[in-house]
Chains A and B, each alone.
Chain A
Amino acid sequence: GQQVMQIPQYQHVQEGEDFTTYCNSSTTLSNIQWYKQRPGGHPVFLIQLVKSGEVKKQKRLTFQFGEAKKNSSLHITATQTTDVGTYFCAGPDSGGGADGLTFGKGTHLIIQP
């Protein structure tokens, strides 16, 4: 079945440094989603990318979808303590996501003040 690989598993940064997590799928994706899970919380949707080569920004967060629609990245500029958490990418099993998502294992972002 589909596999979604995400690296790194853990990332320690100093507050103010940048952070990037990478996601690779074993199959071409119709779209890719990103979620954030704060410690003790549940995953919360951040964004969906649909188009090949798409780049979207949300304040300090930049999301990219690869040209082949098999990889994606999330980049955070100048991290803040509020960015702490686990970031997951997820690709639809089929039907755009109506049949569920295959999640990467997540990247835990740890910020040292």
Chain B
Amino acid sequence: DVKVTQSSRYLVKRTGEKVFLECVQDMDHENMFWYRQDPGLGLRLIYFSYDVKMKEKGDIPEGYSVSREKKERFSLILESASTNQTSMYLCASLERQGSWEQYFGPGTRLTVT
């Protein structure tokens, strides 16, 4: 079974803090993604990576950066958290053979106060 884990289920940070969200997958997938999910807006792609040290902007990259130093780990960084970044953050990895399904982690609910 593919397993995607995220470092925290719930996180509360103050405005201006630097925030790290970690994601680890155990299936040797090359492609990994960060989405945020907001009520009424669905899931929106922030960044993705198709290899170690490679990253590409998604639809809403402003205010975020990412890091992929190892294949299994993809980190989302909020350089200076703001209240409008309060959201559910979902990490996913991609099975490129067969179904092309994305496997999602359990999510991190981030609250910025």
Residues in A lying within 8 Å of B, measured CB to CB: 1, 6, 9, 31, 33, 35, 41-45, 48, 88, 90, 92-93, 96-106
Residue A100 contacts which of B41, B58, B101, B105 (CB distance < 8 angstroms)?
A: B58
Q: A98-B50, A100-B58 are in contact. Are A45 and B103 (CB under 8 A)?
A: yes
A-side contacts of B40, CB under 8 Å: 9, 105
Interface stretch, picked from B13-21, B63-71, B73-81, B92-100, is: B92-100
Residue in chain A with minimal CB distance to B34: A100
Give bound CA distance, A6 to B58, whole Å.
21
B43 touching A43, Cβ below 8 Å: yes
Interface size for B (C-beta < 8 A) is 26
Q: Digitize B6-50: 1 where CB-to-A-CB distance is under 8 Å, 0 elsewhere.
A: 000000000000000000000000010101000011111100101
B90, B94, B102, most chain A CB atoms within 10 A? B102
Residue B48 contacts which of A33, A99, A103 (CB distance < 8 angstroms)?
A: A99
A-side contacts of B100, CB under 8 Å: 31, 33, 48, 92, 96-97
B6 to A: closest C-beta gap in Å: 9
Residue in chain A with minimal CB distance to B33: A100
Residue B56 contacts which of A35, A44, A99, A106 (CB distance < 8 angstroms)?
A: A99
A48 touching B99, Cβ below 8 Å: yes
